[in-house]
Structure 1
Amino acid sequence: MSSKLNVCGVCEYRNINISSMVWCSECDEGLCEECKEHHAASRGSRDHIIVPISEYQKLPSNILEITQTCSKHNEKHVIFCKKHDCPCCRRCVVETHDDCKELNAIEDVIKNVKSSNAFLEMEHTLSELSENLQRLRKNRQNNMKSLKENKTKIEKEIEQTRKLINNLLDKLQESLMKELCIAEEKENKKISCLVSSIQEKEREITEYKTNLDKIKQHASDLQTFLALKHIQQGVTKNENFIETLLKEDNLNHVTLSFEIENTFETLTTALNKMGTIILNTRTSDITLTSRKEKQAQIMLPTTHVLTIDDLKITLIKTVNTIGKDITGCSLLPDGRMIFSCFKYGQIYVVKPDGSLDFTVQVGSHTSHIYFIEDSQSLVITSVSDYSCIKIINMNTRKIEK
């Protein structure tokens, strides 16, 4: 593939060896500077999108291996078989997919793939996975930090208790310290292994995100479409990984605490233990985001992009405005409507049923209005002897500025 990228395809066909400067995904070949100009002027290729070879080579190797032509018949892919999930040339359809019912023109399938729901969903899913993995890693690292803090706190308690019983507790202290270290080491080892796995998943998702950005910029629509399916497999594995972590006890928060033995109160009895290292486990309070819980994941790009011709307008209601020379209007979140009357310099607020709610006298000819929901303010442009902008508080119905 590298030799194909570096040599101008047109010149190579003429047995001339010239380095390519740009790559045309439609023609599936590189072009030198001279051939690039002819390519841009030709009616059949002037609409093709070309990218510099240096940028195109930044695509992942598995993306570069995707071509416009069938490897078996050396003909251009023209059909996509949904049943077998693969592109087909004309001869492939006849030989292999004659009984397949869901055959679509590949131009329709890959149309607008980079702006399709599937591509956008993949971008969001990768970002979500990356964020979730970061949260998991930080959560486990924080647990390790808290275990260390627990250990430090318990060591101080042990040392304070140790002073009360002098040399008699030297041996017990050593035994208890070992138990504490073993408990912490055991849990740290488990958490460290989990953190390493999470970091590996993070690196995978980061690579997918980087590849997706490059694909979006430089890959052909076919390459993008097929690459999405490859990335989806990796995404599914990472999602399953997170689901497995949530179902199992791997994310339970582990703490260390210390409890003094009752026998410690009576030194005259046979004291054989100063205390016990207690390992407490509680359910993790980590919160992960999941787009799947909010909406169904779209796995294939839509083949039809809505245009203005697809819109159907339905009349909901007719409102009789109050006043003359209405020059501006705004709709409030609660269904009320605001109209500006240029002639009388007034603002009319109308209820959803069309009846008048209240009016505000602006004091000058009103032009345009805009409602700011956060501050419950109405911005008005006024035209009189001078032009100005007035801000009205909708709660007090007074001009503030």
Structure 2
Amino acid sequence: MAVPGRKVSDGHLTVFCQPCDRDGERLAAHGYCKDCCEHLCESCFKHHMRHTLSRDHILVDKTNMPQTLQPSSTFHYQQHDDFTKPCHKHKREVINFYCQDHNELLCSVCVTHGHHQHSSCKVSYIPDISENVIDGKEYLEMLKTMDSMSEQFRKIQDRMYRLTVKANKTLANVLEDIKLFRKEINQKLDELEKQAAVEVNVFQDENLKILKEVETACNDRTRDLWTSCNSMKRLNSSKQAEKLFMEVKSAEKMIEDCEKRLVELAKFKVNGYSFTPNETISKLLTSEKSLGILVQKTMHDESTTNASMIFEKELSYHEDICVKTAKDTKRCWITGMIVLTPNTLVITDKYNMTVKLINTCSRYVTDRLQLDCGPYDITSVTSTELGATLPSSHKIQFIAISSNKLKQQHTIKVDGNCWGISCYQDKLVVSFCDPAKLQILDMDGIVLETFEDQNFRNPLYVEAISSSIFISDTNKKRVTRINWYGQVIGSYGDMNEPRGILLSDDGTVFVCDREKQVVKEILGDCSAGKVIMKDISSLQAVCWCSTTMKLYYSSEDGVDRDKNNFIFTSINCNRQ
């Protein structure tokens, strides 16, 4: 085993002086101090014998000294000022050796007390073997391996993001199914309640019919008795004996009839009722603990198997929303749109130099933020903050949103005409024209990466996810997919003038083709695409709401200028 401080020569080991080795000079050890636990060269050995503090130490000569380095209890061995990485086994020591047999970084304690000293390990002093690592093959290959592995981690992260979004969509569908089931239960209970109400009404009608019959009979007999009684009183007063006699006899007959009628009426019955719940339903409500069960199923990443897209057929026009307000002095030009919530859009109106908040339910502009120059594209930075590009002023404007109000915040300066913008994990991806390039910035505007090559000519819009950045380039007539290192990893070219671009939650790409007058749906790997809307003139911007399954788009029409004041909605009820 060869280590710094020991040289193999004819099978004999040479141990270096440790005090001199700390000063960068290597001298063979001449002896050893047992009190200091250090090997000493001839000069240090003699000095050790003479010095007041060490002349009483126990010294042994070269023949009797240990043939391995012994670490001092008070000194932590370090041979080079650049050694700062601590040993994972000996926290107070720094790494300065490398064992090639075990591919392990070591400190001096590892070397002198570990298993390496008792084996034939090839242990090297790092400064002796590290001179060729700069721009070396091992370094370059390691960078490639780490880049490749980082890309794999990003792909896994992106895949899990898509699967999680997809799985959460199924849970949203579960809630809808539960509501539908609850609605069916309510409908059935309503039907049973109506049926019971009908029965109650029948019984009420029967009771009322009996009451009416009794009331009529009683009223008729009471009236007859009252009339006969008054007649007898009048005849008796007038001393008309003959007539009174006949009336009395008639009254006797009436009394007999009334007695019989009283007996009959006394037999009439009125029924009361009580309610006994359905035993099956009662047991169900008592025993059942849930409306049903959630069946677990494994989600599959369809994007890796070239799966079908969101829409099976073309979308159809649904409605339009006027976004022009009384304060707007010009016709609108909606160049950027994002979905904030299922019922809220945020749009950029470049001609009127405004950012507008739209309620899609009321189809009304709920707030309007006036800027000093026209914004082009917009992105969500956080749930309460937006970022918009200001091409003419070479700035990115941050905007706060709270209580359905837009508020202008700070800006950051950029080095060119910025057009498209997308935010992912606290990084801004911004596209530029004249010259065409793509930049990745942090939130303070510091440029992290710049991609400026033949892959870009006029990149107006960008969208970013964990593993990819998609660029809509009007001059290249294609949608280009690159990774975060600027390498092209996909391209879709069946386009004439691509404009607004967006990504759905599952990684599907939507893009407007202004010249072809269509909106296309493209797979996330850019391998295939299809038309989902057609015959729409002057398409500009587009955004998508996965909750409502609605696609919003705008136009910049030079002929039908009123059309520019609207955003349009298309919808398809097909759900994957």
TM-score (norm. length: structure 1): 0.21
Q: Point out the structure with max Rg over C-alpha.
A: 2
Structure with higher helix content: 1
* Greater RCO, CA 8 A, separation 6+: 1
TM-score (norm. length: structure 2): 0.16
Structure with higher strand content: 2
